[in-house]
Amino acid sequence: MTMASTMTSPAPSAVLFKAACPDCRGRFELASQELRLAIGRTHRTTFYSFTCPGCGMAVRRPAGERIIELLTGGGVRTMRLHIG
Ligand SMILES: [Zn+2]
């Protein structure tokens, strides 16, 4: 019930991630809360996803080690999958 109580102060620096949509080919800058990261056991089940602000498509892109570091360091919500 008090989960939002620490969210009142602004983040020191808003982290934006550049992402491209393969569907409408738009390029966007997304905040960390607009991205999700899923980490599976193999690179095939490790990806980040977002909803394209341009066309509304759910986009999934493979995430390499460097992207994982960037996203987790930027506060992107991470799911650990137990499949794959
Ligand atoms: Zn799109």
**Tokens describing residue 63:** 């995430």
pLDDT at 5 over 80: no
22 CA to middle of ligand 1, Å?
7
The per-residue pLDDT for 68 is 95
The per-residue pLDDT for 81 is 87
pLDDT at 84 over 60: no
Tell me which residues have their CB within 5 A of the ion that is ligand 1. Answer: 21, 23-24, 52, 54-55, 57
Cα distances (angstroms) measured from residue 50 to each of 8, 10, 32, 36: 24, 23, 10, 6
pTM: 0.77
Helical residues (DSSP H) of 1-84, grouped into ranges: 65-73
9 CA to middle of ligand 1, Å?
32
The per-residue pLDDT for 66 is 94
pLDDT at 1 over 90: no
29 CA to middle of ligand 1, Å?
12
77 CA to middle of ligand 1, Å?
21
Residue pLDDT, tens place only, 14-42: 789 999 999 999 999 999 999 999 999 99
Q: Is the dihedral of CA 46, 56, 19, 32 positive or negative?
A: negative
